[in-house]
Amino acid sequence: MKLLRFKIRPLSAWRTPWQADTIAGMLCWAAARLGERDLLEDVITAPALRGSPPFVFSDAFPGDLLPVPVTLRNHHWPENERKTIKRARWLMPNDFLAVQTGKSIEASKLLPDTFFVNNGRLRNTLDRATQGTAEHGGLWPSAETWLGKEHNYLSIYARVTDAFMPDLYRLMGELSQTGFGADRSAGLGQFELIGKPEPADWLDAQPVEGGGCVALSSFQPAADNPTVGYWETFVKYGKLGPDFGLENVFKRPLLMFRPGACFAMPSPTGFLGRTVPMEELLSSDIVDQLRVQNRQAVHFAFAVSVPVCNTSFL
């Protein structure tokens, strides 16, 4: 699988975080909207359930920045620098490459999470009886995110097979026409692709000691993934898309790993994670309804991974 970078320019704020599993899910919805069921089921979903996805995404990162490997937080930093380390989220590419090869970097190289700007907006609740704004309790807060002034594009890394590359680029173009995440119809999540994807094999080219890898995505490990390492977790509460016609669209909570998770792995494969089958993802009654429709809903929870020196955290 080739490692590429997509550069995208946000044209509006967004509500849904640009996480790898959500990007992959939106891409699958793009294929469904285009009526490409064979592509979706035979080329994407079936191989992914076997652990051989045709593509794997990273989360979207501001500009050229890359996530801080979690192992850095466990170094013996001076006490006056520990707050900086705790808040750090990003590294410049050269500093990330240094960490990959086991070199030491200064605490000042670890950048805080200040490149996304979060704003709150009050929204109206529609009274379905009057088709107007409700008189009482009609306002509710909505969080929106913008890319800060320091960067004017996001980077998404993707591992992709040669055979799927034309479809991936075409579906990304389709997604750019409809927008990303919640409230697309209200103008949020709008973006454009900047040129064609560019090679990112420089992230795989670093000479590292031992065997280790760092994940660039939000993901859920597979049963055969390595277990020795360092990571940070969060719980994700997802929903199905509207096209299934179901009343209950909520997925079961998923325990996810954040980008920057590091593992000892003798022979890194280039990606981690798994596809969560619908039997684990949804309640039994929803699974039965989908089977009656001859449809399947899965959750792509894979991660792009790149080599990292394992002597720094073993």
Residues 96 and 216 in one domain: yes
Q: Closest Cα partner for 158 from 172, 177, 143?
A: 172
Give the whole-angstrom CA distance, residue 74 versus residue 99. 13
Give the whole-angstrom CA distance, residue 63 versus residue 71. 23
Higher pLDDT pick, 87 / 311: 87
Domain of 138 in residue numbering reads as 116-148
**pLDDT at 97 > cutoff 70:** yes
Summary mean pLDDT of the chain: 87
Per-residue confidence (pLDDT) for residue 236, from 0 to 100: 94
Tally of structural domains, the chain: 2
Per-residue confidence (pLDDT) for residue 285, from 0 to 100: 85
Lowest-pLDDT choice from 20-29, 106-115, 131-140: 131-140
Residues 39 and 141 in one domain: no
Residues 110 and 125 in one domain: no
Percentage of the chain surpassing pLDDT 70? 88
Give the whole-angstrom CA distance, residue 262 versus residue 252. 26
Lowest-pLDDT choice from 56-65, 67-76, 114-123: 114-123
Give the whole-angstrom CA distance, residue 91 versus residue 106. 11
**pLDDT at 217 > cutoff 60:** yes
The answer to pTM > 0.85 is: yes
Residues 182 and 139 in one domain: no
Strand partners, 271: 304
**pLDDT at 313 > cutoff 70:** no
Residues 277 and 128 in one domain: no
**pLDDT at 9 > cutoff 90:** yes
Higher pLDDT pick, 206 / 181: 181
Contact 140, 147 (CB under 8 A): no
Per-residue confidence (pLDDT) for residue 165, from 0 to 100: 95
Residues 37 and 80 in one domain: yes
Measured at the CA of 100, the angle between CA 225 and CA 62, to 5 degrees, comes to 90
What are 249-295's pLDDT values in tens digits?
A: 788 999 999 999 999 887 778 999 999 998 998 888 888 888 888 88
Which residue spans within 169-211 are E strands per DSSP? 191-193, 198-199
Residues 94 and 127 in one domain: no
Give the whole-angstrom CA distance, residue 49 versus residue 135. 49
**pLDDT at 158 > cutoff 60:** yes
Grouping H, G, I as helix, E, B as strand and the rest as coil, residue 141 is strand
Lowest-pLDDT choice from 181-190, 195-204, 251-260: 181-190
Give the whole-angstrom CA distance, residue 107 versus residue 78. 9
Residues 76 and 222 in one domain: yes
Per-residue confidence (pLDDT) for residue 149, from 0 to 100: 85
Give the whole-angstrom CA distance, residue 189 versus residue 183. 7
Assign 73 a pLDDT band (cuts: 50, 70, 90).
Answer: confident
Token pair recorded at residue 109: 């190289």
Residues 13 and 139 in one domain: no
Alpha helices by DSSP H, listed for 148-227, are 165-178
Alpha carbon 166 to its chain centroid, in Å, reads: 21
**C-alpha distance from residue 158 to each of 32, 98, 149 (Å):** 21, 22, 25
Residues 142 and 63 in one domain: no
Residues 107 and 127 in one domain: no
Contact 240, 32 (CB under 8 A): no
Give the whole-angstrom CA distance, residue 205 versus residue 97. 10
Strand partners, 147: 116
Residues 76 and 43 in one domain: yes
Contact 155, 7 (CB under 8 A): yes
Per-residue confidence (pLDDT) for residue 186, from 0 to 100: 80
Q: What is the DSSP string of 213-252?
A: EEE-S-B---TTS--SEE--EEEE--B--GGG--S--BPP
- What mean pLDDT do residues 76-97 have? 88
